[in-house]
Structure 1
Amino acid sequence: MSFEPRDAPYPELKNSHTMAHTGRPWTDFKPPPSAPVWAAVEGLGRYYILLAAIELDVFDALQRLGPSSAEDVAADVGAAVEHLRSLLDGVVALELLDQFNDVYELNDTARRYLVSDGPATMAELIAVATGPHDNWTRLAETVRSGCPATPIENDPAAFYVPLVEGTFTTMFRCATRADLKIRYSARSAPLVLDLGAGGAPWAIAILKACPEGRAVINDLDGVLPVAQAKTLEHEVADRCEFRPGDFHTVTLEVDHYDIVVLGHVCRTEGEAGARSLITRAFAALKPGGTLILADYFVDVERKFNPHAVIMGTTMMASTERGFCFTHQQFSEWIREAGFGQLRLVEPIGFQQSFVAVKPR
């Protein structure tokens, strides 16, 4: 009598059981997939494929040339044909270019984020978003010792200048869109304090929406020229005072400002530093003034918002005190400082801000 294999009597068991071995199928469990391990292994290569494409000007070349062969792109950017073809195929695998019949072209993602003049370009951000690359090769030692080998605090301007230049487009888009949630444009002539402003995207967005508004823009001596250049570019420099110094110690007027912005600065400072900045903001605001605190916030279980969680690891890898904190932690610190009317807004995807008011 011959044996004929049959499907399991319960089809749903196929989701977790296999017929790899002779016997009752529901006793043979399928092992977990290795995909998450391979995703981590390939993560390094994925990043450097994209970084090389940016450094070789591949995306801007394809914007200039239109759909092109590897030979045409190689001639334009000055690269070896077969090596460039391999790189282009890698970028296609990342779904950041399209390819058909050996002709490569920009897709919608590349046009928006990876050409240098894209409407939401991240091209300048790619090289600096991860922090100093050497710190990642020493991460295990950083975890053992509790301090990175070369923290960015050793030479902050060298790191922050390209970072704030690279993030300006996204942050300015976020700050501009935030008016739909915060309505700062409804104020007639607000006085804005932008602490650790970087390129001052928040101050610029508010001043452009409020023609009578003025701003005090603070950052380190080596970083402040970026804000000066950006405010000049956006034609609001004549309404700005540039105040150099460490945001923990720079002199601030009391009960003086209508809006205080802490834009993506708290996560570099650790808990004590973040709470100190919130307290300084409260003291500087007029009664009825508004705090805007933008950052990457981790969920309470530290696993459902992987972007923020990995950003926290990035802070740990390259700063002396930096970590990301949860929505709950920030909301508690803001309330403890004395603020009320606390709410969370998300002007654009993955860019959230707490908004709170100093009681009258």
Structure 2
Amino acid sequence: MLTETISNQVVINPSRIMQTGFAFWSSKVLLTAVGFDLFTLLSDDSKTSAEIKESLQLHGRGIEDFLDALVAMKFLCRSGQGSQAKYANSLETDIFLNKKRPSYMGGILAMANNRVYSFWGDLGEGLKTGLPQNEVKNGGDGVFAALYADEKRLEEFIHAMGGIQLGNFIAFANQFNFSGYYTHCDIGGAGGDLSIQIAIHQPQIISTTFDLPEVAPIAQRNINNNEVADRVQVVSGNFFTDPFPQADIITMGNILHDWSLEDKKILIKKAYDALPDGGAFVVIENVIDDERKENAFGLLMSLNMLLETFGGFDYTAADFTGWAKEAGFKQVDIMHLTGPSSALIAYK
């Protein structure tokens, strides 16, 4: 039973502690629903629990609790009561977790369920050892090696990542002042999503998306589907071993946080070298606030880098400013995008 303590006229209770301590319950309910493709099943019509049970081939025990938990969490809507009650998607799950929608972003949640969820169970060991707790812990390949070995899984991953970044890319393409700039290159551009959005919203810009050869066919399909092939080109290479294509603006979306401080500085210097005077280097990340007290998601993402990589971590604007000025950049600005994400803009 929860109790309240009154101290100096402030009512204190443990509700937030309990909610956070058991947050994995609600997380697993949502991730399981995504894994079942429940929101796609409900895309065309509402269904009873019996119909959902049959379609998903579930046992039946706990089905109403599972569905009503999703109702209480605002991910499903329910009309009626008892066995005749019908369940339907909420507006947000129909938009973002229904595979029939182009805005589907459930792929990243499926990956969270299938991979990341179990790794977080070993966070304590990661903090004690400083070592990844993913597949490499047992002699397997890391996430990128496994993905790049399978084109279908790679494409699903790239679409998932593109989906969760789309809002940030659109915001940057609209908010950044492109006046006086004519060329752009996205380093580690994956499916070409940032280049595509810049081409759509800033048609005067000629863009290049640069990534490993395995990604090129996926990026080219996305570019063709968005009808911007006349303004976006795909160039293949390794951003550590190959020089960056020269451009007026160079961007990296969720790239720097994958790497150690030494590697971060190498990539920042390579960007500096590829830019003209007055050029801009832009990183889009879940930038941690300088006081390291507000952007919880950015801090949690940095812990995820501990579990997934040998040296990766997220960082503050002040951190990046120091590295950028060390490389020779004159000024760094910050631009808030969506949610916990921001763009850090270093000018040469």
TM-score, normalization: structure 2? 0.83
Larger displacement relative to structure 2 (343-352 or 220-229)? 220-229
1:1-30, CA deviations, whole angstroms, 9 ceiling, x for partnerless residues?
xxxxxxxxxxxxx9715xxxxxxxx8xx98
Which residue number corresponds to residue 130 of structure 2?
146
1:299–1:346 Cα change, 3 Å: closer
What runs of 5+ residues in structure 2 fail to find an aligned partner?
149-153
State which of 38, 57, 64 in structure 1 corresponds to 2:44: 64
Asked if the contact 1:165/1:226 (under 8 Å) is kept, the reply is no
Asked if the contact 1:218/1:244 (under 8 Å) is kept, the reply is yes
Which residue number corresponds to residue 90 of structure 2?
107
1:245-266, CA deviations, whole angstroms, 9 ceiling, x for partnerless residues?
331222235xx31110111101
State which of 262, 267, 287 in structure 2 corresponds to 1:272: 262
Please give the secondary structure, in 1, of the residue aligned with 2:162: helix
Which residue number corresponds to residue 312 of structure 1?
302
Please give the secondary structure, in 1, of the residue aligned with 2:44: helix
Equivalent residues in 2 for 1:167-246, closer than 5 Å: 167-184=161-178, 186=179, 190-211=182-203, 213-237=205-229, 239-246=231-238
Q: Look at both structures and tell me which one has the larger radius of gyration over its CA atoms.
A: 1
Task: State the 1:274 CA deviation.
Answer: 1.7
Amino acid of the structure 2 residue aligned with 1:145 = T
Which residue number corresponds to residue 288 of structure 1?
278
Identity of aligned residues (%): 23
Which residue number corresponds to residue 249 of structure 1?
241
State which of 139, 144, 147 in structure 2 corresponds to 1:156: 144
Asked if the contact 1:157/1:220 (under 8 Å) is kept, the reply is no
Asked if the contact 1:298/1:326 (under 8 Å) is kept, the reply is yes
Which residue number corresponds to residue 87 of structure 1?
66
Aligned length: 330
Please give the secondary structure, in 1, of the residue aligned with 2:42: helix
C-alpha distance in 2 between matches for 1:339 and 1:137: 40
1:164-208, CA deviations, whole angstroms, 9 ceiling, x for partnerless residues?
321212323322222332133x567x3222111122211111222
Q: Runs in 1 of length 4+ with deviation above 6 angstroms?
A: none
1:187–1:170 Cα change, 3 Å: farther
Amino acid of the structure 1 residue aligned with 2:19 = A
2:64 aligned with 1:74: no
State which of 333, 339, 344 in structure 2 corresponds to 1:349: 339
Which residue number corresponds to residue 151 of structure 2?
none
1:302-322, CA deviations, whole angstroms, 9 ceiling, x for partnerless residues?
231111111111111111111
What runs of 5+ residues in structure 1 fail to find an aligned partner?
1-13, 18-25
Please give the secondary structure, in 2, of the residue aligned with 1:355: strand
CA RMSD of aligned residues (A): 2.9
Larger displacement relative to structure 2 (343-352 or 46-55)? 343-352
Asked if the contact 1:139/1:148 (under 8 Å) is kept, the reply is no
C-alpha distance in 1 between matches for 2:39 and 2:224: 29
Asked if the contact 2:284/2:343 (under 8 Å) is kept, the reply is yes
Please give the secondary structure, in 2, of the residue aligned with 1:207: helix
Task: State the 1:96 CA deviation.
Answer: 1.3
1:310–1:15 Cα change, 3 Å: same
Please give the secondary structure, in 1, of the residue aligned with 2:322: helix
1:291-333, CA deviations, whole angstroms, 9 ceiling, x for partnerless residues?
2210011123323111111111111111111111112111222
TM-score, normalization: structure 1? 0.80
